[in-house]
Structure 1
Amino acid sequence: MSRRGLVSLTTRRSVRRKGGELATAATRRLEDRHDWYATLSARERSWVGMVAQAGIANFIDWLNGTGPADTRTIFGAAPWELTRTISLAQTLELARTVVEVVEERVEDLARPGDVTDLRVAVLRYSSEIAFGAALVYAQAAEQRGAWDARLESLIIDAVMRGEVDESIRTRAAALGWDSVANIVVLVGNSPHSPEGDDPAGAVSAVHRVAQRHNFPVLAGVQGARLVAVIGEATDPRTRVRDLAECFADGDLVHGPLVEDLAQGAVSAHAAVAGHLAAHGWPGRPRPVAADDLMAERAVAGDTLARAALIETVAAVLAEHPSLLETARTHLDSPGLEATARALYVHVNTVRYRLGRVTDIIGYDLTNPHEAFTVRVALTLGSIVEDSSKVIG
């Protein structure tokens, strides 16, 4: 039997005639009963009110057999952003409130013989709307997920290109990154193959790990590389190790810590350059900091690494002639004793001077890889100096 057959035309007309009163009562009930409603902005409350009114109108249409219990009609009264503002549980409370208002007025709305039938109709409508609300949220989540993925990809591209302007910051804010600081960019091999695997799986894996460890992250696949922009990474090594499982085998390189997304390109450039040059250090760890690959990056042609080595190593040692001489001599000698003989000083003097070198430039010349880095820096410094003399 149809709904129209269960409830008389007289009762259905009564419900339609009092639709405005029911909608007003439903909105008032929301204000009185639900604390979350009071926390909404005026615009958001107006959206909820529109949904409540649309719910009453849809119930009337459903009761009269002129339309289904249509959640698209009800929630179409408000922008889909409403699903970001109130939860599914709150939406179900909203639906129950609308139904309660109708149910409480059944005896006033229905003629005596229709009271039971109208109550049954209200309960049927309630169950259909509850199921429909869950479907609306599922669809909204899917749409939001696709939109967020596009935003995320756009932001990753902007960070990698060094083009984080106000529009990108606004888009990042939509993903909750308006106040995220302490940024580190991590670059490694993507676990998906170029033959057509969906890169969304790699990105989702990064998000799941970040959620588990409670830190913000943006991720994207660029060609064969997987890139992660990590926020609140005051301890970069820990955060990078947390995400290492999301990357395929191969080098995993993170850039230096920077203040915010606007400076993210600095970390991104270092990470990409380090990833390209990492093979130059056979004993490299995984993961490895791009700053620990300065020499390899410089040899591979990274102009920023070259400039940094000249400024932080060659230029600094040039201000300490005895230390520069000791460093050069030690790099060309097979050990401390040989360095001491070449300089005509005691071996303890060599140890002291090498300790001072470590203090002022941060590299230990007794460590083979760090010694190589200093050698590259001094070589670059000499080339620049000789070029300046020729030009001069």
Structure 2
Amino acid sequence: MAPRSRHGSSLSATTRLQVRRAGGELATTATRRIEERYGWYADLTARQRSWVAQVAQAGISGFIEWVDGHGRQDPRTTFAAAPRELTRAITLAQTLELSRTVIEVVDAAVEDLATAGDVPALREAVLRYSTEVAFGAAQVYATAAEQRGAWDARLESLVIDAVMRGEMDDSLLTRAAALGWDDVHDVVVIVGESPHVGDPTTEPAEAAAALHRAAARLDHPALAGVQGGRLVAVLGGVADPARRTATLAGLFGPGPLVHGTLVEDLVEGAISAAAAVAGHDAAHGWAGCPRPVAADDLLAERTLVGDELARASLVARIHQPLLAHPALLQTARTYLDSSAGLEGTARELIVHVNTVRYRLRRIAEITGYEITDPHDAFTVRVALTLGTILEGSSKDPA
């Protein structure tokens, strides 16, 4: 009686010998068929194609050992023949196509390899082996995805930290490229409170994962992470930062939610990050602060907490342009210092009230701030005060 192989079917010694002898030819046929059948195979590098050939050959040799009954080959380890990088080169679906082709080649040769009485048993062996290989492939990809996820999370944390500290060098750009950020433009940084701060049942990692999922649905490359109590998101491909931040607002915890300036790429991401962090720190100073809010709408508050970038921006946007228009500068200062509004300003300047209205419109056109709005008025007042102080200090003798 023929010995029972590991898969439980009786195969004669003759059949098992013929399967072993046909191994090389079967592997060659399987590799050739893969080359002919799948367009994705041609897109692989020579090295990656060699990995695929290794897997095909391992599938054949694994089947031979399996039916031979020696117990040395677990079908689920077939893909151990290829480097782990293969899971990045081809998808699980492509891997299963590869496996199916190998099995088809073996199945087509069953009648030539088996004795007449062994044909059903050998077909059953092929079927069972293919099932085990499919499970093995799924396990390999699941493990690779888990390991890659852990590695990507560490890599992502490094890149976010570099963006926040303004230390994006070539090595970190290379790491960012590994996360899909090699050609991403129109970048904005969003800073808000992490949901886990007020809800101990929420894990920080889940807050970042939720942002990733939402950004993917919106077709934005994203980096996300929790730093202390803050949830930070770096988004690429953004056309309208305010609108996009509003879309994602529900994923952040309560409190201020600030988006930085829109910048060209990840290298300039530190500019957006610095503005967003400073804005988040200073937003509590504006009682009616909207949510979300642009960091540029918090220039006065940011200046008061020591943000040098905000201070320079305020002077450049408001004080310096008005210096070129003395009448407008005088009108702005008088209006801000007067409690009587338009009429009081007109009396103070000895002009018609319509002239004051015209000048206020010109101030808004030049600076972007309407000093009839309380918060804009506060911002302009801080800018003019700061500009005057700096102007005066520059005139002091050395």
**TM-score, length basis structure 1:** 0.95
The secondary structure found in structure 1 opposite 2:197 is: coil
Q: Which residue of 1 aligns with 2:243?
A: 238
Q: Report the Cα distance in structure 2 between the residues aligned to 1:109 and 1:21, rounded to whole angstroms.
A: 12
Q: Which residue of 2 aligns with 1:133?
A: 137
| 2:375 alignment partner, one of 369, 379, 382 | 369
Superposition pairs for residues 167-246 of structure 1, below 5 Å? 167-193=171-197, 198-246=203-251
Q: Report the Cα distance in structure 2 between the residues aligned to 1:70 and 1:318, rounded to whole angstroms.
A: 80
| 2:330 alignment partner, one of 308, 325, 339 | 325
Q: Which residue of 2 aligns with 1:311?
A: 316
Shift of 1:345: 0.7
The secondary structure found in structure 2 opposite 1:192 is: helix
Q: Which residue of 2 aligns with 1:9?
A: 13
Seq. identity, %: 65
Q: Report the Cα distance in structure 1 between the residues aligned to 2:191 and 2:291, rounded to whole angstroms.
A: 12
Q: Which residue of 2 aligns with 1:59?
A: 63
Superposition pairs for residues 28-47 of structure 1, below 5 Å? 28-47=32-51
Q: Which residue of 1 aligns with 2:294?
A: 289
Structure 1 stretch 56-65 or stretch 91-100: which is displaced more? 56-65
Shift of 1:197: 5.3
Q: Which amino acid aligns with 1:320?
A: H
Q: Which residue of 2 aligns with 1:261?
A: 266
Q: Which runs of 5+ in 1 are unaligned?
A: none
Residues 1:345 and 2:351 aligned together: yes
Residues 1:355 and 2:357 aligned together: no
On the 8 A contact 2:190/2:232 being kept in 1, the answer is yes
Q: Which residue of 1 aligns with 2:28?
A: 24
The secondary structure found in structure 2 opposite 1:232 is: coil
- RMSD of the alignment, in Å? 1.7
Shift of 1:382: 1.4
Superposition pairs for residues 28-177 of structure 1, below 5 Å? 28-65=32-69, 66-72=71-77, 74-177=78-181
Structure 1 stretch 81-90 or stretch 249-258: which is displaced more? 81-90
The secondary structure found in structure 2 opposite 1:186 is: strand
Shift of 1:279: 0.7
Q: Report the Cα distance in structure 1 between the residues aligned to 2:205 and 2:4, rounded to whole angstroms.
A: 46
Shift of 1:330: 0.7
Structure 1 stretch 250-259 or stretch 10-19: which is displaced more? 10-19
Q: Report the Cα distance in structure 2 between the residues aligned to 1:347 and 1:81, rounded to whole angstroms.
A: 75
On the 8 A contact 2:106/2:126 being kept in 1, the answer is yes
Q: Report the Cα distance in structure 2 between the residues aligned to 1:288 and 1:116, rounded to whole angstroms.
A: 71
Structure 1 stretch 271-280 or stretch 46-55: which is displaced more? 46-55
Q: Report the Cα distance in structure 2 between the residues aligned to 1:391 and 1:155, rounded to whole angstroms.
A: 46
Q: Report the Cα distance in structure 2 between the residues aligned to 1:237 and 1:310, rounded to whole angstroms.
A: 24
Change (3 A) 1:338 1:67: same
The secondary structure found in structure 1 opposite 2:52 is: helix
On the 8 A contact 1:3/1:121 being kept in 2, the answer is no
Shift of 1:391: 4.2
Structure 1 stretch 268-277 or stretch 351-360: which is displaced more? 351-360
Shift of 1:171: 1.5
Q: Which residue of 2 aligns with 1:273?
A: 278
Residues 1:388 and 2:390 aligned together: no
Kindly provide the CA deviation profile for residues 160-217 of structure 1, in whole angstroms up to 9, marking residues without a partner as x: 0111122222112212211111011000000113969531100111011112222221
Shift of 1:327: 0.7
Structure 1 stretch 285-294 or stretch 5-14: which is displaced more? 5-14
Structure 1 stretch 104-113 or stretch 185-194: which is displaced more? 104-113
Change (3 A) 1:378 1:36: same
On the 8 A contact 1:209/1:242 being kept in 2, the answer is no
Change (3 A) 1:391 1:254: farther
Shift of 1:116: 2.2
Change (3 A) 1:302 1:391: farther
Structure 1 stretch 162-171 or stretch 332-341: which is displaced more? 162-171
| 1:298 alignment partner, one of 263, 285, 303 | 303
Q: Which amino acid aligns with 1:76?
A: A
On the 8 A contact 2:257/2:293 being kept in 1, the answer is yes
Change (3 A) 1:369 1:193: closer
**TM-score, length basis structure 2:** 0.94
Structure 1 stretch 273-282 or stretch 106-115: which is displaced more? 106-115
Shift of 1:71: 2.9
Q: Report the Cα distance in structure 2 between the residues aligned to 1:279 and 1:127, rounded to whole angstroms.
A: 61
Q: Report the Cα distance in structure 2 between the residues aligned to 1:253 and 1:236, rounded to whole angstroms.
A: 10
Q: Which amino acid aligns with 2:119?
A: V
